Structure 1
């Protein structure tokens, strides 16, 4: 199918799905994913994922997390720095243990079972940011804790993935822990300097310009620039976009001019593509012969984060209800789990691993949207 026509159909279907979900008091994300599922190989098989759709969807992730950052109070975020480490660590440890147990139960072998555990240790800040924004949770203390825990997850899970992939002789490169921590510190230091001392004078200057669309241009440059900076320091680009939005939270000139324009581009175009592509990438028929595996792996994925992260939040003084919300917010898995597949030599993993991980990414996003 022509790429432009495929884009038209996907956006239209995703937006209609989002509207139906909204009318039934669910997250629009839920309807967007189902729309992709219906257009993909599971149902009508009208559209195949391609590089263009995936790239546009990834831009959607960046702008969505940028907006989430603009709703985040960094002063409050500092207060949850300690609890976020505990939340992330508990969730990763339990997810790895349960994922390994599932792989061992289905005779994946030692290395492949550990691979499944590492894949389940990841989390998706993009999905959580969307759901928390839809339900007005982003500015609550549980929303802040969840965002901080996602940032810690990215660092810890990446180190685990590098170790596991190295067992297969794959493409991952190892680096000393001190170097990773130094890169994280450098990224935080540079973004803090730019955010606290550069953003305000720059935005005052932009505000005086006659070009009304310059605010939007600056937003795009910040999202892409901070995303690149995060990648340069070995972090996920979404963390850079989130940091850019979080520092702009304190720049009053930025919010009125930027938010509406970025929301229009993000919610009206790029984000529906991202969630639609998740559905397009999922062929549930490939898993008909592995229904018990998918069911047990999904239960392990949900329990790993819901119980593990929820327990971490409870230990640090959050109520039972708040702990459940934090745990639920950590349930959706990231595309990083799928990227892992390309890092190991072909034929090193069971054939069912690829469709299984795609299904886990899809189903955990679905469960989070429903909950």
Structure 2
């Protein structure tokens, strides 16, 4: 099929499917994923994955990671850093350890088990924020810590991804690990110094330049340069894109850039990426992984919920607030799908495992907003009961 016709078809079908998903109370990404499966080789075979689709999908990944970085509000992190860090760490480490052990029990290799653990350590910030906004829960203390934890969750997963890619690299020996770690440390030092000293100077220079969309252009230049740098030193390029977003998040034009880049990403590049996930899906032989899909789906919900709940309790929240925090971390969404695609391209997971993991991610993406709405509603009803009891006691005393 002609690439222009293919792109038009992908955007049309994903937007229709996204609309249906939203009307059903589901995250829009579910619609795009299902369209990818339907138009791919597993069902109707209307669209085949080729170099053009792969290139545009890869740009979609980089831009999604950039947006995740821009959405990382460092002010919230600073204000609630300690509780967010505790919750974020437990929200990553509990599912990481759970899925590492479960994967080993399913006889997967050490490398595959590490990568699967990392996939399920990820959290979807966009889906969580969507539900929190809908229920007017963003401005609460729990909401602030949830956002902070989800941001740190992404940063922790990105750092762990880099370490795992270095450690499991077949060309890496024990003697090579220290140089790899040193390069990683130098990369992050470079990012810090570049963001502290160079970016502010470049932003000032931009003030004297009169060209169309200079802020967006500067941001995209930073995305591609840092992605290239990360790739050159042996890291994943998506790490560079993520930290480009972190740097832009601290500029005065961050909100404007986020709005414009998000607009083009969600209208074109993200749909292509999510459809490409479905195009790589092979459903043949999926029945042999049925027990794994069921067990992993249960563990995917429980491990994140437990990690977040323990984080809430460690931060001195009551059970209902801790349950909200736990439920808020359940959705894996975009970050996990990016990691799954990376795992397939780098040979950490095979086609059958790829299909199984995508289905589990779809399950968590559907279940998470339902679970989060339920826990917030339950928390609200308990809060009302306490308020009524306090009011009645006050009346009696009066």
Per the TM superposition, whether the score is higher than 0.5 is yes
1:305-316 superposed matches below 5 A: 305-308=304-307, 310-312=309-311, 314-316=313-315
CA gap of 1:267–1:343, structure 2 versus 1, over 3 A, is closer
Question: Hey, which bits of structure 1, 4+ residues long, moved more than 6 A?
Answer: 124-127
- State TM-score, norm by structure 2: 0.75
RMSD: 3.3
The aligned residue for residue 353 of structure 2 is: 356
SS in 1 for 2:46: coil
Check if 1:123 corresponds to 2:123. no
CA gap of 1:197–1:123, structure 2 versus 1, over 3 A, is same
CA gap of 1:327–1:262, structure 2 versus 1, over 3 A, is closer
1:286-365 superposed matches below 5 A: 286-308=285-307, 310-312=309-311, 314-317=313-316, 319-330=321-332, 333-337=336-340, 339-340=342-343, 353-365=350-362
- Measure, in 2, the Cα distance between the counterparts of 1:254 and 1:87: 28
- Measure, in 1, the Cα distance between the counterparts of 2:359 and 2:190: 35
- Measure, in 1, the Cα distance between the counterparts of 2:193 and 2:353: 43
How many residues are paired up? 352
C-alpha distance after superposition, 1:265-285 (max 9, x if no partner): 211110111111112222323
Contact 2:337/2:361 (CA < 8 Å) preserved in 1?
A: no
Task: Give the deviation of 1:313 after TM superposition.
Answer: 5.4
Task: Give the deviation of 1:291 after TM superposition.
Answer: 2.3
Check if 1:93 corresponds to 2:92. no
Unaligned runs of 5+ in 2: 369-398
- Measure, in 1, the Cα distance between the counterparts of 2:212 and 2:298: 50
CA gap of 1:41–1:91, structure 2 versus 1, over 3 A, is same
Task: Give the deviation of 1:364 after TM superposition.
Answer: 0.8
C-alpha distance after superposition, 1:117-173 (max 9, x if no partner): 32321238997144245445698321221221232233335545665x57xxx4566
CA gap of 1:292–1:94, structure 2 versus 1, over 3 A, is closer
Contact 2:313/2:322 (CA < 8 Å) preserved in 1?
A: yes
- Measure, in 1, the Cα distance between the counterparts of 2:363 and 2:57: 17
C-alpha distance after superposition, 1:4-37 (max 9, x if no partner): 3222212221122122222333221111111111
The structure with the larger Rg is: 2
Unaligned runs of 5+ in 1: none
1:136-147 superposed matches below 5 A: 136=133, 140-147=144-151
CA gap of 1:310–1:162, structure 2 versus 1, over 3 A, is farther
- Measure, in 2, the Cα distance between the counterparts of 1:310 and 1:160: 27
CA gap of 1:286–1:207, structure 2 versus 1, over 3 A, is farther
